[in-house]
A and B are shown apart, each in its own frame.
Chain A
Amino acid sequence: MRNPKRYLIPVLLLIAIAIYIDLPSTKAVTIPNPFGTKPLFSHPVQTRLGLDLQGGVQALLQSEIPCDQVPPEAMKTARAIVEKRVNGLGVSEAVVQLADNCRIVVELPGERDPEHALAVIRKTGVLEFVDLGDTYLPPGTPIQTDFRSKQSNQKGEEATPTPEASATPQKTPAAKASPTPAASPTPKPKIWHTVMTGAELKSVRVEPNPTGGGYEIAFTLTDKGAKIFGDYTSKNVGKILGIVLDGKLISAPRVNSPITDGSGVITGNFTLQSANDLAIQMRYGSLPVPLKVVQSRTIGPTLGEDSLRKSIHASIIATIVILLFMLLYYRLPGFVADLALITYALLSFAIFKWIPVTFTLPGIAGFVLSVGMAVDANILIFERMKEELRAGHPLQQAIDLGWERAWPSIRDANISTLITTAILFWFGNAYGASLVKGFALTLALGVLVSLFTAVTVTRIFLHTLLDAVDFSEHHKWFGI
């Protein structure tokens, strides 16, 4: 750095931005567009609290098929389905992630009832063929069916549906299912009739559409399914048959002709991808791979609040102790290091909100620890600077020498810390050990930001200060 003072303005600007992001009221960073309504740039920022700080449920699901035999695509689909179910719980900020190639981590911050939550995640979803009559509904529409309401009346919410038992009674589906106009104006959601459930599917495959582009899904049915389906389709040519998974419409094909031989095709605007997705969902009812809960963790809200309050307390005290120590021991440079340290805290907090990094207890410990390491870089530099001053170098030169000579050890030491954090992160990632991961991530970010503030920002501040006031004769300001 030839002229460190040149960088003062950019650094101050950076600090100002960081302070803006740090403000509790800031929910997003937006650059408005002067020529239009759509902003040029917008990024949400948030303080995200981990399960251990706000309470909640965490679960690790693992495929019951051995890990090396699970197709990755199936795991991706399973994750998407679990995510849909989790979203049905109404938990905000829920996390559903793949870990390794056969595990799914589910985090439900704020969830109070682990038994219910896990039952919802674990349930074997229900695929239904629903008589929609003449009503076309877009995919994604929630559908209430008589089959599902019977299920929940019989067994309560967490019951695993047994489709076979209730799929048989519908002998005259068309007559009952035709929409009754008198009932529709009521605000109550309409209950549609289930013709048949996914239990009657024998095989499902994706084929290219012979008459044009795109793909279609061909399926065959069991003998019982073929009979039900034949009866229904003969009476309902031209009507719409809804395919419903877990209470949501995923496709609404029209019955073009009676299907009596127990096989049929679903046509629609399918790409290979979307046809495959639907086929997987049809084939496995819900989850393409059976999942079991191998690990779960529930943190009560009281413990979470308690931990949050105490750790914020401790971090503030720790920071004040360090600020005082640096000021008393290193005097003027110590004061500058304190400024750099505050800069460090502001910048890293802003980065945590930007990414966003989930705050966990060990994460806060990692952050406080990285404050200690940020100070270490400054201590290395200042000790070196003092040595050069004692050796008789003039002040400016001593400062530059201090930086130059302390750099290799700061670099090597921090790289070895980064190596460890990388390994920790990898370890935590594979097991959904979000506590370990949080710690590794905050420590690594802390080390990187501290390199910038302790090495660069301190130097800029110190040079600026030295130019403003002449300290050349005041060695005691430097603790000598």
Chain B
Amino acid sequence: MDIVGKRYLYFAISLSVIIPGLIALALWGLPLAIDFTGGSMLEVQFQGKAPAPAEVIAIYHEFGIGDPTVQSSTNNTLIIRSKPIDEATMNKLVKTMEERFHTKVIVRQFSTVGPSVGKEVARRAAGAVGLAAIAILLYITYAFRGVPHAFRYGTAAIIAMLHDVLVTLGVEAILGHFLHWEADAMFLTAMLTIIGFSVHDSIVVFDRIRENSLRYRRLPYETLVNHSIVQTLDRSINTQLTVMLTLLTLALFGGVTTRHFVIILLVGIFSGTYSSIFNAAPILVVWENKEWRCWLKGRLKCDNANAEA
């Protein structure tokens, strides 16, 4: 099986997912939840039929609360987001709804976040992702210190990780636009987990390259890398299968609260396995051959150039 030989095909597949995702991000943005923007979220369930969103918005306006948006959910449930309100106001709102719609209203959840905290959380989150990337880069460079160009392995793992981050962000932007998802603290947790897994997978492949490079010293690097990928393929697929199966059961039976979280994990972890096999290891080959010198000449690979030399 020749995976490394078709590396540019696999790079193209990655780009065909990432680019639409980036376009979606640019067009629609990533709707941020109140965790990051500040605001209030009230989820109420009506004993009878849920009223039309406009009627609920009208109540909010009567209280002078800005920017309410209402989203309908299953089981006569409404999710109402607005500027930050306190518990007393929330209780009054619920009471007003009960009187006006002549039905019992159950508060399923209520959160309120001050705007300054939201901003600080968002800033600290970016810091957390950056810190994780640097820590992992350092660790891999250290773990592969015996191999020539140890730094390349760390960098390739980070590129594969960025790939997974971009894929996930793109999918979140596309799905989020149609399913009204918002990026909340749990989304951030999913992203950080994906980063961890992405590197986990890359390391398994790299470890094989490390081992094989000591054993088969005379093999060309490209063949060596391909051989290592094929050897670890069974493991990659099986691990992928078990994690996917667990996540799928969580998505199907785990309830609505975690569904968004689990689906994002599914996307990211699939991407993580893909990138470790089809991107991370092939990038090492591109680097070894310094193929970017030939891209300017309109060629992807430098096979001929090598042959001529």
Contacts and interface: CB of A to CB of B under 8 A. Distances in A.
Interface in A276-297: 292-297
A372 B114 CA distance: 37
B304 interface: no
B111 interface: yes
Interface stretch (B25-33, B121-129, B164-172): B121-129
A53 to B, nearest CB: 10
B108 to A, nearest CB: 4
A376 B121 contact: no
B242 A325 contact: yes
A423 B193 CA distance: 11
A297 B110 contact: yes
A311 B121 CA distance: 28
A413 B211 contact: no
B116 A408 contact: no
B245 A416 contact: no
Given A311-B258, A417-B197, A427-B128, A436 B109 contact: no
Contacts of B290: none
A303 interface: yes
B144 to A, nearest CB: 9
A1 interface: no
Contacts of A424: 128, 189, 192-193
Contacts of B19: none
A104 to B, nearest CB: 13
A74 B120 CA distance: 23
B135 A419 contact: yes
Interface string A385-418: 0010000000000000000010011001111110
Nearest to B233: A383
Contacts of A387: 231
Chain A interface residue number, banded = 35 or more
A375 B239 contact: yes
A362 B242 contact: no
DSSP class of A's interface residues: helix, strand, loop or mixed?
A: helix
A20 interface: no
DSSP class of B's interface residues: helix, strand, loop or mixed?
A: helix
A382 B128 CA distance: 35
Interface stretch (A29-37, A179-187, A237-245, A313-321): A313-321
B79 to A, nearest CB: 12
Interface in B140-192: 140, 143, 185-186, 188-189, 192
A306 B245 contact: no
A474 to B, nearest CB: 21
Nearest to A407: B207
B23 interface: no
Interface in A428-456: 430-431, 433, 435-436, 439-440, 443
A475 to B, nearest CB: 17
B185 A435 contact: yes
Interface of A: 52, 60, 62, 114-115, 118, 292-300, 302-303, 306-307, 310-311, 313-315, 317-318, 321-322, 325-326, 329, 361-362, 365-366, 368-369, 371-373, 375-376, 379-380, 383, 387, 405, 408-409, 412-417, 419-421, 423-424, 426-427, 430-431, 433, 435-436, 439-440, 443
17 contacts: A60-B117, A297-B110, A307-B257, A307-B258, A314-B252, A325-B241, A325-B242, A365-B262, A369-B243, A372-B246, A376-B239, A380-B204, A380-B235, A413-B200, A416-B199, A420-B192, A421-B196
**Pairs of residues from A and B, 10 with the lowest C-beta to C-beta distance, nearest first:** A420-B196, A310-B255, A409-B207, A294-B114, A115-B87, A314-B254, A372-B243, A314-B253, A298-B110, A413-B200
Given A310-B253, A427-B192, A443-B193, 13 more contacts: A296-B87, A303-B108, A314-B250, A314-B252, A321-B245, A369-B246, A372-B242, A373-B200, A409-B203, A413-B203, A417-B197, A417-B200, A427-B125
Interface of B: 43, 45, 86-88, 90-91, 106-114, 116-117, 120-121, 124-125, 128, 131-132, 135-136, 139-140, 143, 185-186, 188-189, 192-193, 195-197, 199-201, 203-204, 207-208, 210-211, 231-232, 234-235, 238-239, 241-243, 245-247, 249-250, 252-255, 257-258, 261-262, 265
